[in-house]
Structure 1
Amino acid sequence: MPKLIRGFQQRYPKIRFELVQGNHTFISNRMENGECDLLISSAKLESDAYEWIPMRTVPLYMWLFLLLIVLRSGRISA
C-alpha cells in the first residue's frame, strides 16, 4: 500500500490524500456520511448507491491449530 500511495501522490500532487483504517463498520459509516470518496474493503456496503470495482482476487486460507488427544480406548478425538 505505501508504494501505491507514493505513486498516487507523485502523479497527483494537488490531490489531498488521507489514509484512514478501521473495521468495516467504521469505514462504511465514513463513506455513508460523505467523509471519504474511496473505500477499499473486502466486503461490499449494503447499498446500490456505489460502484464496486474488484481490485484483486486472492485465495483465502485459514490456519487451525488442532490438538488431538488419544483416549485410553485408543480413539482419537479433537
Structure 2
Amino acid sequence: MVVDESAPEGTETVGGEPAEGEASAEVMKLLSEHVPLALLADLALPSGPESPQILQEEGLPDVAWWESQDEPEEPARASDSGD
C-alpha cells in the first residue's frame, strides 16, 4: 500500500488514489449535498466530454427538479395596500 501524504488523515490510498470504498463514499456524500453529477464527472475525467457538450446532446430533463415548487409568494408592498 502506498501512503499519500497529501491525502486527508485516516484516508488509505492505493497507487496515489483513494481506496474504492472511500472514493464511492465521498462521491455519495457530494451527491447528497447536491453537487451536480456532471461537475463530478468533469472533475473525475478532465479529458472527457464537458458538461455543456453533454447538456447540448442530451437536453434538459422533463422535470426541472432544481426549481422549487414551494417558493413563497412575494409579500405585498406598502404602496399596494391602497393608502
Output the TM-score relative to the length of structure 1.
0.30
Q: Which has the higher helix share?
A: 2
